[in-house]
Amino acid sequence: MPAVQRDVVVVGASAGGVEALRTMARSLPADFPAAILVVMHLSPGARSALPLILDRSGPLPAYAAIHGALLRPGVIHVATPDHHLLTDDDAMVLTHGPTEHGHRPAINATFRSAAVTAGPRATGVILSGTLDDGALGLRSIVDRGGRAMVQDPADALHAGMPENALALVDAEYVLPAAEIGPALDKLVRRPVDEATGPEPSAALLLEDRIARDGVRLGSVVPGDRLPPSGYPCPDCRGPLTEVDAAGRYRCRLGHAWSVEALLGAHDTEFQRALWTALRSLDEKTALARRLRQDSERRDYGMLAHRYATTATECADAADTLRKFLFSLSAEPEPEPEAPP
């Protein structure tokens, strides 16, 4: 039997990942013998400049992924906004399956797909990012006989994704971004020990099918096996089901959440509510001051005093809330822009 190479590399990144991706691309050789699929969290309406950025960063050409196009060795295929990037044998598949962790494209969806279709030929790479998208997908690749590579958390601008991946996977390679390219080049040139690897689990096949075909979870799993968790889905507000003991959730429409991502989504919702409250306080302050001025012109002393008290109380509350909101973490990293 001819030797089988590790010819599929899937890479996931999020906040702080552009520079890590550029560093990795810069360190890859021009004769890199495997296809690379890159997934970075993107806003649905964005027009990503990431293919151009990576194309200019190193010797390998980089292109936006095209549905049905063949995977090509020595080419970086970049996920497009609002589509999951999956594999089907030696071709790419773009789908509009349910969001995962609030993202489409989602790193887990791509990694699971590589685990199902490439098995031991797949190598997963996790770079800088927050929360834990990609961790379960990387676990799936390793379970199927593939290899895992993770950016050293100390080297990552945001260590959340690397740390969460390492909590689930005993990665053989934990490296700074500058060393990932040479390590990948050596790894993919070594033949695979077992060409088939362990069979994919039923749960892995089901989750891949949801991302691939857009099937609803409720249509493939009996309703009595989907008891609600008590938490609403941040995407559709439907009840979430805890699908396993590891704290993974899906709603009946298929939106997927981990515990950490769910907590982050509720934190975002909480902050949004506080910003709405701050705006209301500012508006109430302005209105109370105007009413105080009108009352003073009409010589309504007691009424003017009441409006002045209201304005002061609202302004003080708004200042306290504003300081609290500004003390919270910064906004997520903006979408990558094309270099000049």
Per the annotation, the verdict on 143 as an active-site residue is no
* Catalytic residue of the set 14, 57, 229, 295: 14
In angstroms, rounded to a whole number, what is the distance separating the alpha carbons of residues 213 and 207? Answer: 10
The secondary element (H helix, E strand) that includes residue 206 is helix 202-213
* Catalytic residue of the set 132, 133, 208, 235: 133
Q: Is 83 left (phi over 0), alpha (psi -120 to 50) or beta?
A: beta
CA distances from 266 to 165, 234, 250, 262, 286 (A): 22, 7, 15, 6, 30
Per the annotation, the verdict on 193 as an active-site residue is no
User: Is residue 88 classed as helix, strand or coil in its secondary structure?
Assistant: strand
Question: For residue 270, how far is the Cα from the chain centroid?
Answer: 20
User: Is residue 31 classed as helix, strand or coil in its secondary structure?
Assistant: coil
* Catalytic residue of the set 27, 41, 103, 132: 41
In angstroms, rounded to a whole number, what is the distance separating the alpha carbons of residues 121 and 188? Answer: 8
CA distances from 22 to 76, 133, 158 (A): 12, 20, 16
Residue 119: DSSP 8-state: G
Q: In terms of Cα–Cα distance, which of 43, 39, 23, 11 is closest to 331?
A: 43
Between strands 228-232 and 239-244, the pairing is antiparallel
In angstroms, rounded to a whole number, what is the distance separating the alpha carbons of residues 75 and 175? Answer: 22
Per the annotation, the verdict on 14 as an active-site residue is yes
- Give the neighbor-by-neighbor strand order of the sheet with 248-251: 228-232, 239-244, 248-251, 256-258
In angstroms, rounded to a whole number, what is the distance separating the alpha carbons of residues 334 and 42? Answer: 9
Active site residues: 14, 41, 133
